[in-house]
């Protein structure tokens, strides 16, 4: 293990300069004659899909905020373990590592560890196995979120505190429309199931909850989406996806589904503010709609499912 001279830099996605907004084709609707009370953007790709029958959700940042702050934990570990160079600019190195992390956000955690191992190798170091890095990161993250887990388990806090604003209303509306709902997360499945239970959302998904495994080649969000289409004998146009990572948006668009980018402000739940880094990243993979949370769940679904 290498200990660098860098001091951890607190960086969040909102602090990274956003990519260009030019030619996004997104039109924001808010207030006035619009049925929306919050920020909602429809891109030129959008058209209503009245025949949608299945919906797939990412978990962390899209529904659950239990793991809010995970980038700080991962970045601090990477900064600590990266072999130093004499000419390093600590801020630039932290930014490079953060960008590596966020470019892979939405994929299984192991891919961020594979990328970090490559960075260690580039600097002449002898990296640990990516799975070792993953387990060490999870150990550290568990320490950060343990109080949140216990607070939920003992009932000291309401699940709404760690559910993205409006999540329960959205899930209830979808369930009332007889939608088949799925969870597909880059977080390990054992933790996704634990935290879905604590947040009271397992009832909406049943056994249709999927997450990462140590044998990372046995799971991907693309595999889940392909399975949904195959097992239910539906086409991509019948699929709706909600996510704050590019993977679920990209995979959904690849099969012809409708993708809602959830550019959530995880640190300030309910603020209604768009995370610009997420917004631009998800528009770049052709998201159809951009929202900060689910405060407009009912009018949003009406628009999506209108004939």
In terms of domains, do 187 and 265 share one? yes
Give the model's pLDDT for residue 31.
57
- CB half-sphere exposure, 53, CA atoms < 13 A: 10
186 lies in which domain range?
15-66+159-305
Query: Total structural domains in the chain?
Result: 2
In terms of domains, do 147 and 119 share one? yes
pLDDT digits (tens, 9 = 90+) for 298-307: 999 999 999 7
Any idea what the CATH number is for the domain that residue 240 is in? Answer: 3.40.50.1000
In terms of domains, do 290 and 218 share one? yes
Does this model's pTM top 0.75? My answer is: yes
pLDDT digits (tens, 9 = 90+) for 229-280: 999 999 999 999 999 999 999 999 999 999 999 999 999 999 999 999 999 9
Which residues, given as ranges, of the chain have pLDDT below 70?
1-27, 30-32
In terms of domains, do 179 and 55 share one? yes
Give the model's pLDDT for residue 55.
98
Give the model's pLDDT for residue 24.
52
Which one of 108, 135, 154 terminates a domain? 154
What are the residue ranges of helices labelled H in 68-166? 70-81, 90-103, 109-122, 130-154
Quick check: helix, strand or coil at residue 40?
A: strand
In terms of domains, do 119 and 178 share one? no
Is 267 part of a structural domain of the chain?
yes
In terms of domains, do 143 and 125 share one? yes
């Amino acid at each position: 293990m290498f200990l660098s001279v860098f001091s951890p830099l607190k960086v969040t996605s909102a602090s990274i300069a956003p990519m260009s907004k030019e030619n996004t084709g997104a039109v924001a609707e808010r207030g006035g004659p619009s049925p929306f009370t919050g920020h909602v953007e429809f891109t030129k790709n959008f058209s209503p899909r009245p025949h949608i029958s299945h919906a797939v959700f990412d978990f962390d940042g899209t529904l659950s905020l239990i793991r809010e702050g995970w980038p700080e934990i991962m970045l601090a570990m990477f900064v600590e373990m990266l072999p130093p160079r004499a000419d390093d600019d600590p801020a630039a190195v932290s930014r490079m590592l953060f960008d590596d992390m966020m470019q892979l956000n939405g994929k299984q955690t192991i891919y961020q560890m594979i990328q970090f191992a490559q960075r260690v190798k580039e600097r002449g170091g002898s990296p640990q196995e990516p799975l070792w890095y993953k387990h060490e990161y999870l150990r550290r993250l568990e320490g950060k979120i343990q109080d949140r887990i216990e607070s939920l388990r003992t009932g000291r806090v309401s699940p709404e505190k760690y559910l993205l604003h409006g999540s329960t209303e959205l899930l209830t509306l979808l369930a009332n429309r007889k939608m088949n709902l799925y969870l597909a997360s880059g977080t390990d499945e054992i933790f996704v199931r634990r935290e879905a239970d604590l947040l009271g959302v397992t009832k909406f998904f049943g056994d249709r909850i999927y997450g990462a495994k140590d044998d990372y080649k046995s799971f991907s969000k693309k595999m889940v989406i392909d399975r949904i289409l195959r097992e239910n004998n539906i086409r991509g146009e019948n699929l709706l996806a909600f996510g704050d990572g590019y993977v679920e948006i990209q995979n959904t668009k690849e099969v012809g589904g409708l993708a809602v980018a959830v550019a959530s402000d995880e640190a300030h739940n309910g603020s209604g503010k768009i995370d610009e880094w997420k917004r631009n990243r998800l528009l770049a993979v052709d998201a159809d709609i951009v929202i900060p949370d689910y405060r407009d769940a009912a009018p949003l679904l009406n628009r999506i499912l209108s004939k």
